[in-house]
Amino acid sequence: MKRTLLILIAMLTLGMTGTKAAENDVLVSTDNTTMLLFAKKGEPLKFVYYGARINEQQASDIWLAGDASNRNAYPTFNDWCPNESAIRVRHANGQIMLNLLVQDVERKAVTGGELVTVKTKDKVQPLFVDICYRSYNNADVIETWTEVTNREKKDVVLEQYASAYLPLRSANVWLSHQHGQWGNECQMYEEPLTAGMKVISNRDGGRNTHTDHPEVMFSLDGQPRETMGRTIGAALCWSGNYSMRMAFDPYDQSLFHFLAGVDETAAAYHLGANQTLRTPELALTYTDEGKGGVSRNMHRWARQYKLHNGMAVRDVLLNSWEGVYLDITEEKMHKLMDGVKQLGGELFVMDDGWFASDKYNRDKDNAALGDWNVDRRKLPNGLQHLNDYAKQHGLKFGIWIEPEMSNWKASELYDKHPDWFLQNTGVEPVQQRGGTQARLDLCNPKVQDFVVGVVDRLMTDCPELAYIKWDDNAITANYGSTYLGSDRQSQIYTGYHLALRKVLERIRAKYPDLVIQDCASGGGRVNYGLLPYFDEFWTSDNTDALQRVYIQWGTSQFFPANAMAAHVSAAPNHQTQRTIPLKFRFDVAEAGRLGIEMRPSDFTTKQLAFAQQAVEDYKRLRPVIQLGDLYRLLSPYEQGGVAASHMYVSADKGKAVFYAYKLKHFVGHTVPPIRLQGLDPNRSYRIKELNKVGNSITADGKLISGKVLMEAGLALALDNEYASRMVELTAE
């Protein structure tokens, strides 16, 4: 009797009975996770739970247990909003109140999962917000976003339009995130979240991952661990300015608030009558396998659903940039192609410096950008000749472009269309790369057509073109559009990236098999807002192998190996002037999509033989490296001076590859055995060291049980400065 009374009191406190809760419970589930919502018509949508998968009965039990957060799933700015809001609207009558009430819930099957749409409407005005949830079953990812529709007679202004809100109950939340700068992208930071607010944001306008990344992890059980602990990963799928806000509730320190979406600074969006704005998706995943579990879920989701052609292995390529920079000539391109063919590569990419116009030459980076005509002084026989030369040598041919940019007063494009540039009338423009570079105004449909036309011309002139490196080397400065009206100027930051998506959708519809690399002064656009249109990204302009260990460790938190371009470059390195052995450079680059960023003719005979064997082994193993499950074994941020950064295991656990690097060297430095992960404890594995230089590891050639390798570990004898190991494991 007493227990029944307590249950009734609990249900009345929540304002509903157990039966009503079951009727209005909305479960969005994947194979191993569930998000529970409460959608009662005429009331705000409530967020209840997100974590390990539960069934309908267990959902009801959450209410009985009193563990439901009972928070609005998409908080609005209204007459009671002491906490952060996700959306703030200025109606045509000037009011900024918004009370969203549930009208209906729709469910439909989609590829890989289900789409759940909770339809809501403002209590007074005809403003509608669909709150959407899409599940990806086998990746344990749930995407959420909103679609805002204005049915008022006049414009409404969206002053804030976050993608999603997530309340979580935990008193000891730690945040893992990445921060960096050009040449030093994606450095890892971990910290406890305390009272107050933590904001991660970017306001570059054109590139959003040189500094902070729009991906974070929350460790709900205290300090983050790689292999265990309840952990949530969140990735905002957006290429423009963003904001992620994290704060504990001021009235309940066990309740944690997380909001993510487009940054509201100078980004008010005018929504006309009968128009709809869709916010960027926020991808969420939950695991009890720590940070490594989040990464594996995100990688599976990326390869299967988010990355263009994500289940394909990528070619071994040579890029001309660090070999010749802007000094492009036909003879030098031939020589580089001869070199990559000799190495066993499959693709040659000609970088910046190949184009010009009648008035402007691209001998420096201050002119001709936007004039995409072949410079016949450098390439008298044109692009098709280079493609034919590559084809005769068994290679594919690729090329660099930067179609969103041009040069002020140093391009024929500017001479003909000065209104196509972002600019403020009467204000001297901010000059960027080379002193003259500026961004085109993609809000203008004519500019969108021009950018699509750049690719069309290339594919017309060189129909067998296999690869494009798409670059973006400047922030969005000169904030003004001659195309948008005076009342729409605040839409540039958002409108630009919505337009960019349209451009890329058009290109992908016409050229689905063209491989396109996402580049922005290195890793400035490594985000899931653009990767549906790109096959890979350029991880960093810094090719120094030692620094790349850290950059690639951070990048791997959310992005798979087949998307992460990693190149072997010259010694001394062009960015740091550091001299590192060729083996170390190859071992680091082979942890991603392998490429070469130097002149193969600079190799000695011995180095050439080593490189040829390394490329051959990589090509044999790349299905495991590029598509396997990732296990990070030993962080470079630990104090031991050693990193076992990446271990890749095939889905059937029959094959694995892992890498280890010595980052510091001093007398008496002892490296303990490295415990492996992801193997089958009931099978034995043949150990084979690759890229060998000097002494082999003791276990080379031996057959060792998976359980021993995971429990006792593998001794690697990293005895010398910049020592490294690449090890293949095959189940027998």
pLDDT single digits (tens) 680-726: 999 999 999 999 999 999 999 999 999 999 999 999 999 999 999 99
- What confidence score (pLDDT) does residue 138 get? 96
pLDDT-derived band at 3, boundaries 50, 70, 90: very low
pLDDT-derived band at 648, boundaries 50, 70, 90: very high
Q: Name the CATH topology of 2-306.
A: Beta-galactosidase; Chain A, domain 5 (2.70.98)
Residue ranges per structural domain of the chain: 2-306, 317-627, 642-731
- What confidence score (pLDDT) does residue 424 get? 92
Q: Where are the beta strands (DSSP E) in 437-483?
A: 437-439, 467-470
- What confidence score (pLDDT) does residue 76 get? 96
- What confidence score (pLDDT) does residue 21 get? 60
> In this predicted model, what pLDDT tens digit does every residue of 494-516 receive, in sequence order?
999 999 999 999 999 999 999 99
- What confidence score (pLDDT) does residue 127 get? 97
Tell me the average pLDDT across 287-292. 98
- What confidence score (pLDDT) does residue 64 get? 83
pLDDT over 90 (residue 170) = no
pLDDT over 80 (residue 9) = no
Rounded to whole angstroms, what are the CA distances from 99 to 26, 122, 266, 447? Answer: 20, 5, 24, 39
**Cα angle, residue 561 at apex, residues 555 and 564 outer, rounded to 5°:** 60
Tell me the average pLDDT across 226-243. 98
- What confidence score (pLDDT) does residue 11 get? 35
The pTM score is 0.95
> In this predicted model, what pLDDT tens digit does every residue of 183-222 receive, in sequence order?
999 999 999 999 889 999 999 999 999 999 999 999 999 9
> In this predicted model, what pLDDT tens digit does every residue of 49-104 receive, in sequence order?
999 999 999 998 988 887 666 789 999 998 666 678 999 999 999 999 999 999 99
Architecture of domain 642-731: Sandwich (2.60)
pLDDT over 70 (residue 279) = yes
pLDDT over 50 (residue 13) = no
Rounded to whole angstroms, what are the CA distances from 465 to 326, 456, 513, 534, 566? Answer: 21, 11, 10, 16, 22
Tell me the average pLDDT across 155-167. 97
pLDDT over 90 (residue 325) = yes
> In this predicted model, what pLDDT tens digit does every residue of 365-415 receive, in sequence order?
999 999 999 999 999 999 999 999 999 999 999 999 999 999 998 999 999
Residues contacting residue 600 through CB under 8 Å, at least 6 positions apart: 318, 336, 339, 340, 342, 343, 608, 611
346 or 82, which is more confident? 346
Rounded to whole angstroms, what are the CA distances from 538 to 235, 399, 467, 595? Answer: 19, 14, 13, 11
pLDDT-derived band at 137, boundaries 50, 70, 90: very high
Q: Round to whole Å and give the CA distance between 695 and 395.
A: 35
pLDDT-derived band at 667, boundaries 50, 70, 90: confident
- What confidence score (pLDDT) does residue 69 get? 60
Tell me the average pLDDT across 138-166. 97
Tell me the average pLDDT across 453-481. 97
pLDDT over 70 (residue 8) = no
Tell me the average pLDDT across 247-267. 91
- What confidence score (pLDDT) does residue 130 get? 98
- What confidence score (pLDDT) does residue 80 get? 66
Tell me the average pLDDT across 354-358. 97
- What confidence score (pLDDT) does residue 63 get? 82
Element spanning 23, H or E: helix 18-24
- What confidence score (pLDDT) does residue 41 get? 97
Q: Are 242 and 109 in contact (CB under 8 A)?
A: no
- What confidence score (pLDDT) does residue 81 get? 65
What percent of the chain is modeled with pLDDT above 90? 89
Mean pLDDT, the chain, as a whole number?
94
Q: Which of 703, 639, 705 lies closest to 671 in space, CA to CA? A: 639
pLDDT over 60 (residue 12) = no
pLDDT over 90 (residue 428) = no
pLDDT over 90 (residue 245) = yes
Tell me the average pLDDT across 4-16. 34
User: Which sign, positive or negative, has the C-alpha torsion 665, 729, 596, 335?
Assistant: positive
- What confidence score (pLDDT) does residue 169 get? 85
> In this predicted model, what pLDDT tens digit does every residue of 533-589 receive, in sequence order?
999 999 999 999 999 999 999 999 999 999 999 999 999 999 999 999 999 999 999
Architecture of domain 317-627: Alpha-Beta Barrel (3.20)
